[in-house]
Each structure stands twice: as C-alpha cells, then as structure tokens.
Structure 1
C-alpha cells in the first residue's frame, strides 16, 4: 500500500507533522537520513516522499545528511516517484547564492551580496561595503548561522583573525548589505502546495536567529545590539489578511523550481524597499502564533500530503486496469 514517507534528519521537527498525519488517519513512514545506504539496483516503494532535510543538519552532528538525501532523491526521481521538495529544492536549501540568483531571475530584489572563500578574500570583499554597515552569513546555513553585524572593515578583520571566527561548513562566507528595519522585524511568508497560507511577523530585536520552530532555543540568539529589554509583544505573530504583490513573484519562484513547501523571508528598510533574503524549504511553524491566529501550517501540510497520496493511489488503480 502506498504511504507518505517523510525524509528528515531531526526528529524534533517532525513530531508535529506526525501528529497531524495521525489525526487525519494517513499512513506514513519515518525515513531518518542521518546516515544510511541507497541501493541503486532496488526499486523504491510506492508513495509520496516529502523531503524535510535542513541546511543546518551539520549543527546536529548530521554533516552528510544533505548529500545522502541528494542520492535518495535522485533515486526516487529516476523511478518517477512523487517527491515533494525534490532535488532542486535541496540545491536551493543548501546554497543562499543559488537562492539569491533564482530570486533575482524572477524579479525579486535581494540584498547586495558577495561570496568569498578564504579569510583574505573575505577581507578583500569587505572593501565593497566600506563606509556602511554589513553582515556576514554562511552560504549553507539555517538558524542564522554565521550572521554577524559589522560597522567597519577593521571590526571584521579582528573577528576573522580571532578564535571566534565561525568557518562555514561549505567554506563559503557571504558578505551582505545590512538592511535596517525601522520596527526591528522581518516577515516570513508560508507556502504549502505552492499556495500562500499566511505571513508571520518576526521580532528581530533580540538577534538574528529567526527559526520559528518551538524546538529552537532563544538562548542561542546572537544579539548585535547588546542587551534588550524584554519584548512586550510575542516574537512571532501571524499577520491577518496579509496581501502583497511580492507573493505572486514568490509563487513563480517556487513553481519554477518544483518547490511545494517553503517559508520565504523578507525585510523592509526605512524607505519601504523590500529585500528578500531566504528561501527555507524545511519550513517550521510556531504553535503560539498559530493558536492565536487559528491557522495551522502543519495541518495544511498534512492535508496537502494526503491529497498527493490520494492522487498516487488513483494512478496505481489506473495502471492496474
């Protein structure tokens, strides 16, 4: 019997999805890809395969999960299986360079960015930002990895030459214009089945780690502006009746890259200019924000996977007639 297969490397991020699948009575199997094998001579089972591998897997000791998943996805796609967030989604998940170029291709403005490999090249690239604030981040990231704010090249040089320097797992450091939000917030737009479901406002006053999952720890935040007073409003808040022309561009990006499930983040500067800086294909949802709004991303995702499974079942019946 066909079922839903959930490919991932972090059980903390699948718990809520499995609960929703159970609620809907949908058959599923947990495919943990922290390690494993791929028999290229074998044929995959029938079903729907949902890829939830994260760019930050190496921070949980799963350094090669993306590489293993890439092999699994290639195998599944070769056999024509229904894959949700397939190989192309994984390529974008592990490379912000690829994300930015793809966004720009579809008319979505991204911050000015330079990619550099090697400490000397990082400092050389920083000259392009002389006289203004800029940030560094990792190309293969997630969880705000490597995000640091600098006001001068001298400050960057001191950081790069110190023991605090955080080397990217793929060796690629990004230098990027610092976009200052007047209300210290970013907006994350959630899509399921390629369709927009809601936007969430994220308070960034405490730092750069923007993961909305309940499992993410506030203690891990890097705060570039020193200590902040306790926020009066929730860190994550669903924006009711959000509408913006950028959503059509986002849908085009997702459609053209075969991405069904994603969270796309943008920030607006003091002039109202919108900059998009992240496509997260391993999207998570914040339970407090959802409960307050009465909207539930994992439920929508489980329903979508159920519809895809139903389509596979009908196809199987048709093939056996």
Structure 2
C-alpha cells in the first residue's frame, strides 16, 4: 500500500502537485475520480493518508459529476481510520454556499446580504427585499459558474419567466446583494494546516466571477492581475478561525472590502487549492513544497498511530 492516495478529478490541474510529490520522493498513488467505484464493505482504504482534490466545478466537465459520490467514498475511508485531508466535514461547506455564509457569520464576520431559496419564483420577492443590483447564484458553484447579475426587477422577472435564472445541482439558489468591491479587488487567503500560508490580491475582479488564480484558469482572464498581499492581523485571525471551525486543511477563503462602507465581506470557502500561477514570480517560492511537507508529516503521524 502506498503512503498517500491523491483522489483527484481535473486531468491538468494537479501536474504541479504530482511533480512536487515526485521531487520529494513521496510514495503515492493517483486515483482519478471519474471512473472510480468503491465497495462500502471493503475494510481497506487506498492509503493511510488521502488527499482530496475534488473540484466543485467538476459538474461542469461531466454530466455524471462526482461531488456527492466523493463525499461518500471519502467518508467511508475516513471511517476506516484513514487521515483524509479536506474530508467530508469541510466538503459539507464546500458544496454549500449557504452554509459557508452561515459559517462566516458564526465566526463574527460580515457577509453580503443574502437570501437562500429553493424556488426560482421566490427570487423576485427576495431581490426586492435586498435591493438592486443583485446577483443570483447557485449553491454549488465552481469557476464562477451559475452567477448572474440583475440590475432591475424587470430583468429578473424576465429571467424567471424563461427559466434562465441559475439553479444548481442541489436545487438551491442564493439571491445576494451585489457588493461593489473596493478597487475591483478580491482577496484570496490560502490556508494550510489551519494557518494562513499566503494571500493574493486579484485586481480587476469586477470583470468576471471566475477568480481561480491557477495556471490553467488564467489563460482566458487577461483582465485579472494577481499579486501577493499581506492581510491585516485581524483578517489573518479571522481566516484561521474559519479554517478551524470548518475543518479546512488546505484551501482558500475569499473576501472583498465593500466600497460603500469599508467593511470586509466574506463570501467564499474553497477546499481546493491549485495555488497561484507562476508562484516563484508572485510569491518567491512554490507552495506545493509546503503542501508536500505537510503531507509527509501526516504520513509520519499515521505510521505512529498504526505502530
């Protein structure tokens, strides 16, 4: 049995991770999610440490997406004693933007004014309560999919009439205040082992809802520029608090500063980190090396438990 199993979905995103594992000499097996099956009575996990690299946007790439299947498989292996990095606990947040917002609020953080619903026809009434412009977004998102801005009741009513209002794979939609981000900037804070690893400023974020900063994501977003960013201490503490509350081992937490009142508003938790494109230029180091060192430590811990 290998020391590590990487349970992954996207064929290109994880080449840097696999290269880092090879570079560090880690004994691992790569498990593609697409054609995976499992036996709920099988008593043996694929490895003592399992790194979950499920992308929420997987439902965009195949009709039979594996989001909820993966939660079952990872939960099975966790029940057998495997250490699952970004396991079912944090996936319960990653697959549910409404729960993410509740989490941020419980952590004492500001969020965009939001209403959750399960019927398209409720969106018009809820948008009226919030005030225009609003965005309507799916509850299970990825790569900016299923997010639409509406500037008037007439525009939203027409979309409801022709069934073009976004409705996600779980049948839940969010109606949310459109927050004007100060300087059109979004901050993505990357967490590893419960601590802030680095943060990025994504400038020009008003041009797209797809803010993935990794190499394969940036090819069609020339209007977005990325730079290293140092959050104020209270934001760092808040990010680490959310990571602890959610069980996030490695991933991103995003916020923006509301131009209207200067309040940082948190809106997204993502338990998949592809890290940043051109990390040596942006950060001065490759965060994949940090991730692999963390994984090596988890492998050692699992060996001690098994001894």
TM-score of the pair, normalised by structure 1: 0.88
For residues 236 and 144 of structure 2, the distance between their equivalents in structure 1, rounded to whole angstroms, comes to 23
- Contact between 2:137 and 2:167, CA under 8 Å: does it hold in 1? no
Q: Secondary structure at the match of 1:286?
A: coil
Q: Cα deviation per residue 1:267-306 (whole Å; 9 max; x = unaligned)?
A: 0012320000000001122222542320322221111111
Is 1:94 the counterpart of 2:83? The answer is no
Give the deviation of 1:112 after TM superposition.
Answer: 1.0
Q: Which residue of 253, 266, 269 maps to 1:279?
A: 269
For residues 71 and 77 of structure 2, the distance between their equivalents in structure 1, rounded to whole angstroms, comes to 10
Report the equivalent of 1:259.
248
- Contact between 1:115 and 1:175, CA under 8 Å: does it hold in 2? yes
Is 1:237 the counterpart of 2:227? The answer is yes
Report the equivalent of 1:170.
170
Report the equivalent of 2:37.
37
Give the deviation of 1:256 after TM superposition.
Answer: 2.6
- Contact between 1:2 and 1:313, CA under 8 Å: does it hold in 2? no
Q: CA RMSD in A?
A: 2.0
- Contact between 1:20 and 1:298, CA under 8 Å: does it hold in 2? yes
Is 1:158 the counterpart of 2:135? The answer is no
Alpha-carbon distance change, 268 to 50 in structure 1, aligned in 2, over 3 angstroms:
same
- Contact between 1:50 and 1:84, CA under 8 Å: does it hold in 2? yes
For residues 152 and 174 of structure 2, the distance between their equivalents in structure 1, rounded to whole angstroms, comes to 16
Report the equivalent of 1:225.
none
Give the deviation of 1:164 after TM superposition.
Answer: 4.8
For residues 244 and 180 of structure 1, the distance between their equivalents in structure 2, rounded to whole angstroms, comes to 23
For residues 303 and 185 of structure 1, the distance between their equivalents in structure 2, rounded to whole angstroms, comes to 31
Q: Cα deviation per residue 1:86-116 (whole Å; 9 max; x = unaligned)?
A: 1111111110011111111111211111112
- Segments of structure 1 that go 5 or more residues without pairing to the other structure are 222-229
Give the deviation of 1:2 after TM superposition.
Answer: 4.3
Is 1:298 the counterpart of 2:298? The answer is no
- Contact between 1:48 and 1:312, CA under 8 Å: does it hold in 2? yes
Give the deviation of 1:84 after TM superposition.
Answer: 0.7
For residues 287 and 161 of structure 2, the distance between their equivalents in structure 1, rounded to whole angstroms, comes to 43
Q: Secondary structure at the match of 1:287?
A: coil
Report the equivalent of 2:142.
142
Q: Secondary structure at the match of 2:12?
A: helix
For residues 252 and 10 of structure 2, the distance between their equivalents in structure 1, rounded to whole angstroms, comes to 18
What is the aligned length? 304
TM-score of the pair, normalised by structure 2: 0.92
Report the equivalent of 2:28.
28
- Contact between 1:12 and 1:215, CA under 8 Å: does it hold in 2? yes
For residues 116 and 152 of structure 2, the distance between their equivalents in structure 1, rounded to whole angstroms, comes to 18
- Segments of structure 2 that go 5 or more residues without pairing to the other structure are none
Is 1:68 the counterpart of 2:69? The answer is yes
For residues 236 and 186 of structure 2, the distance between their equivalents in structure 1, rounded to whole angstroms, comes to 15
Report the equivalent of 2:202.
202
For residues 175 and 284 of structure 2, the distance between their equivalents in structure 1, rounded to whole angstroms, comes to 38
- Contact between 1:6 and 1:30, CA under 8 Å: does it hold in 2? yes
For residues 210 and 52 of structure 1, the distance between their equivalents in structure 2, rounded to whole angstroms, comes to 18
Report the equivalent of 1:211.
212
Alpha-carbon distance change, 78 to 6 in structure 1, aligned in 2, over 3 angstroms:
same
